[in-house]
Structure 1
Amino acid sequence: MKISKALLTVAYVVLFVSCGNKNEFPDIDPGKEEKNFAKGADIGWITEMESNNVKFYNSAGVQMDGIALLKSLGMNSIRLRVWVNPTNGWNSKEDVLVKAKRAAALGMKVMINFHYSDSWADPGQQNKPAAWVSLSFDQLKSAVNAHTKDVLDLLKKNNIAVGWVQVGNETGNGMLWNEGKADQNMSNYAQLTNAGYDAVKAIYSNAKVIVHIHNGWDNNLFRWIFDGLKSNGAKWDVVGMSLYPSKDNWSQMTEQCISNIRDMISRYNKEVMICEVGLSWDEEAAAEAWLKDLFSKSQAISNNKVLGVFYWEPLAHNNWKGYTLGAFNNAGRPTKALNAFK
């Protein structure tokens, strides 16, 4: 055993030295490093909030940097959305880099979430970027590939170790409508997914590619999408889910979600990531109970097949942009909901 450890040490040193350029580091594979559960947050709004003088405080009322505060509350990962050409610059690749650098400096892992839009992409809208509107389908696939590579290459050149990448956001009916609308052309949706998948692997070969669907409790939706992707030759590493219950139905919805997770693992032999969760900030007792239950049941699934849980924009407070499912109160302090991350 001592000889084996020595040889491994030497091999690591040789690999480290051989990298030469500091940008050419080995990719981090979060599935192999420590096998720890990702406890994360989507923080896409943070730079915009800071520009509007929004402050964040710990439970004692001490002002803190928002990302550092989340880490102090037990989080080890962040999720960042990317828009192609946003009108105000927020969530552009440059803005994403600023946030990714801050998280990386704190030793936190990074998930990148491509919306493939100039603004929000979700179950109700999957609008093509303005610059892509007149493209042919083949050109659209090339644009997806080039945009994905461009953003990830910028991050890699700045030494950001990206562990997971979403190719689309809540694509329960495909993306880049109408060409990639799943109920109209599942084959096109699969081809666009592969354009993103191949781009990710070209830059971060060990990053895990996520296909992310809303309503994590809805097994019929997940089977329809992933059966369709599979039958059309799509590639993905991780099934991504969102889960947004209420204080009254969280127990039932969690049971349905866990059942769906088990089916996804069995049916497709894939890992699962719960990419988004949230519950009203002023129902903190219910949120704490729900999240502790979700963490417990997710981590109890064998072979570490559930990779983690990300809270969507927990830092949002004081009705920021009308969003009320954060996990900070109107004084800018964390609610009990985040106790689950400790």
Structure 2
Amino acid sequence: MLKKRMRKFVAVALCCILSTGWTLSGTNQVSAAASVAKGADIGWLSQLEANGYTWKDQNGVQKDALQILKDNGVDSVRLRVFVNPPSSFTYKGSDGVTSYLGFNDKAGVVAMARRADALGLRIMIDFHYSDVWADPGKQIKPASWEGHSFNQLLTDVYDHTYDVMNTLKSYNIYPEWVQVGNEINYGMVWPEGKDTNFGQLTQLINSGYDAVKTVSPSSKVVVHLAYGQQNAHFRTWFDKFQNNGGKWDVIGISGYMAPGTNYMPRTEEFAYNLNDMAARYNKEVMVSEFGGRYDDPENTYSALVSELDAIKSVPNGKGIGVFYWEPESAPGALPDGYPLGAAKVVGTKQLQFTKAISAYNSNSPFDTSKKFKIVNRNSGKALNITGGSTQDGAAVQQWTYSSWNSQKFYLLDSGNGNYRIQNVNSMKLLDIENSSLNDGAKNIQWSNNWGLNQLWKLTSLSGGYVQIQNGNSGKLLDINGASTADGASTIQWFNNGGSNQQWAVSQTN
């Protein structure tokens, strides 16, 4: 995780298949996954439990945190491992902020892996090759490796990787994925493994790769970079890695959602990069880390659905998973106040999961990582924001489809068939003027206010059409007077079965 950057964010803001998706055959083989992994990085869980924390599900029922995650669709866990972390399992950074590391020495990781395995969860191991956090801002060499020659460091990486993997093997646990390095944009095991010496960096990664494959040939080795929206950076990095003889199976990105309602452009950048990486290098891709504001669960839910859809949409089945980073956490339970978990403090030493993590159970029929046009069945014309306005209160009309951004929309999944419909040009939501309950009330756009008047239920009809029902009034999106003219206004009206209340929702570029 980008701990250094997230601490700055906190200071400003607050001042992945079912359990039977893989099986063990008594050999080193892991059978191929049948679907996209819905994952959770749970490195803090055991430390929070040791501190006395318990968890409730979204209905207020206290359960084991791992069971709650599984109930919400999580089928995979990600476990980071440090070489020799401090005995306190805390780290005080150069900024003076203390953070929990989690009980993530070898013993702690093996214990949690056994616990996850008993629940039938798939497992990823994330090697940091450090005693503390490894991220783009720091890749601190383990203290016990200081003074070693480069050749010895290659052996250190191999031996550490082999030791952890072999210990897991002794419990008949063969991780489905293994990350060799964490957010290694600028290298790992500094200074010898800095990206300024890509040949040496590649050798270090390959040493970890070889150790993984020696123990568990079927485990997929993930190379993970931060800044998942920066396609040019990824191309440069992996071109160098490939040209230096790098060995890997999966490209992992960090795909943290952009803050606030207007996160979809960032999600589209993630999707573009994932598709390009899969095509350019003929490798599988995944989101190794995702997170969204704990106190904005609606947006986080929608963003997680969108990133999961983006992974599912990677051609040729090369998108293989999304992992939420520390969803069991909340700021009030952590010394550094990390805000991108999916839980909230609801009592003394008690946390409750929010709606956000239930995104893994979404069954939306739409690929919410894409843009859509919404075309009226009666007129054949598309919804449009009048004049391409970006102002609150601008009217929504119909107009011949011309591929303007004012005619394109994101469907932000809110669960149970409900969506917030966001205009691509203005980034504002479809709304009913003054939250009216009356027939004939105008359809407008407005900034997100979380009102039911901005929530719409899309109900499928025969012929591929839908009705779009307002969550506040229960009335349907309609074209005034069943007009077929450009510029006709949209309103809400009771369900009269008319084709002017029926819509074709389809992807557009």
Normalized against structure 2, the TM-score is what?
Answer: 0.61
Which one of the candidate residues 193, 196, 210 is aligned to 2:222? 210
Is the Cα contact below 8 Å between 2:286 and 2:311 reproduced in 1? no
% same residue:
45
Query: How far does the alpha carbon of each residue in 1:181-215 deviate from its partner, in whole angstroms, 9 at most, with x for none?
Result: 00x20111100010000000000100000000001
SS in structure 2 of the partner of residue 275 of structure 1: strand
Out of 182, 200, 207, the position equivalent to 1:188 is: 200
Q: What is aligned with 2:36? A: 37
> Which is worse superposed, 309-318 or 321-330?
321-330
SS of the residue aligned with 2:110? helix
Judge conservation of contact 2:254–2:290 (CA < 8 Å) in 1: yes
Q: Within 5 A, what are the aligned runs for 1:180-259? A: 180-182=193-195, 184-244=196-256, 245-259=258-272
In the TM superposition, what whole-angstrom CA distance separates every residue of 1:210-229 from its partner, at most 9, and x where no partner exists?
00000111111111210110
Give the 3-state SS of the residue equivalent to 1:309 in structure 2.
strand
More strand by share: 2
Q: In the superposition, relative to structure 1, how do residues 222 and 315 fare at CA in structure 2: closer, same or farther (>3 Å)?
A: same
- Report the alpha carbon displacement of residue 250 of structure 1 after superposing the two structures with TM: 1.7
Q: Please tell me the residue identity of whatever aligns with 1:175.
A: M
Q: 1:302-341 to 2 correspondence within 5 Å? A: 302-317=315-330, 318-321=332-335, 322-331=337-346, 332-341=351-360
Contact 2:41/2:324, CA 8 A, preserved across alignment:
yes
Q: Which residue of 2 aligns with 1:102?
A: 115
Letter in 2 for 1:55: T
Bigger share in helix: 1
2:467 paired residue number: none
Contact kept in structure 2, 1:109 and 1:163, CA below 8 Å: yes
| 1:126-145 matches, cutoff 5 A | 126-145=139-158
SS in 2 for 1:276: strand
Aligned to 2:181: 168
- Matched to 2:56, the amino acid is Y
Q: What's the CA shift for 1:232?
A: 0.5
Q: How many residues align?
A: 317
In structure 2, what is the equivalent of residue 112 of structure 1? 125
Query: Would the aligned equivalents of 2:28 and 2:215 in 1 still touch at CA under 8 Å?
Result: no
CA positional deviation for 1:26: 3.9
Greater Rg over alpha carbons, structure: 2
Deviates more, 1:89-98 or 1:146-155: 89-98
> What does the per-residue CA deviation read over 1:66-124, in whole Å, with 9 as the maximum and x for residues that have no partner?
11111011100000000000112620010001100110000000000000000100010
Q: For 2:333 and 2:52, how far apart are their aligned partners in 1? A: 14
Once the two structures are TM-superposed, the CA of residue 55 in structure 1 deviates from its matched residue by 1.0
| Counterpart-to-counterpart distance in 2, 1:70 and 1:162 | 19
2:310 and 2:164 map into 1 onto residues whose CA distance is 35
AA partner of residue 37 (structure 1): V
Question: Aligned partners of 2:170 and 2:119: how far apart in 1?
Answer: 18
Equivalent position to 2:27, from 21, 25, 28: 25
User: Is this contact kept in 1: 2:79–2:124, CA < 8 A?
Assistant: yes
Counterpart for residue 9 of structure 1: none
**Alpha carbons 2:259, 2:292 under 8 Å: kept:** yes
CA distance in 2, matches of 1:71, 1:326: 16
SS at match of 2:254: strand
Instruction: Point out which structure has higher relative CO (alpha carbons under 8 A, 6+ apart).
Output: 1
The alignment partner of 2:343 has SS state of coil
Q: Which residue identity does 1:325 align to in structure 2?
A: L
Letter in 2 for 1:77: S
Q: Distance in 1 between matches of 2:305 and 2:49?
A: 30
Contact 2:28 2:217 in 1 (8 A): no
Q: SS of the residue aligned with 1:79?
A: strand
User: How much has 1:295 moved relative to structure 2?
Assistant: 1.4
CA–CA distance in structure 2, aligned partners of residues 158 and 104 of structure 1: 10
Letter in 1 for 2:30: I
**CA deviation after TM superposition for structure 1 residue 307, in Å:** 0.5
Cα shift at 1:319? 4.4
Give the superposed CA RMSD.
Answer: 1.3
Cα distance between partner residues in 2 of 1:87 and 1:249? 40
Q: Using the alignment, how far apart are the partners of 2:250 and 2:235 within structure 1? A: 14
Task: Give the aligned residue type for 1:133.
Answer: E
Shift of 1:337: 1.1
Secondary structure of the residue that 1:111 maps to in structure 2? strand
Residue of structure 2 equivalent to 1:54: 53
Partner Cα distance (2:358, 2:151) in 1: 47
- 2:304 is the counterpart of 1:301: no
Of the three residues 303, 310, 335, the one matched with 1:290 is 303
- TM-score, normalised to structure 1, is 0.90
Q: Which amino acid aligns with 1:193?
A: I
Q: For the residues of structure 1 that align with 2:255 and 2:155, how far apart are their CA atoms?
A: 32
Structure 1 residue 25 displacement after superposition: 2.5
Structure 1's unaligned 5+ residue stretches are: 1-14, 17-23
Deviations 1:35-85 (A, max 9, x none): 211001000111110110011111222211111111011100000000000
Partner of 2:169: 156
Is 1:247–1:279's contact at 8 Å kept on the other side of the alignment?
no
Q: Secondary structure at the match of 1:221?
A: helix
Contact 2:274–2:314 (Cα < 8 Å) also in 1: no
Q: 1:10 matched to which residue of 2? A: none
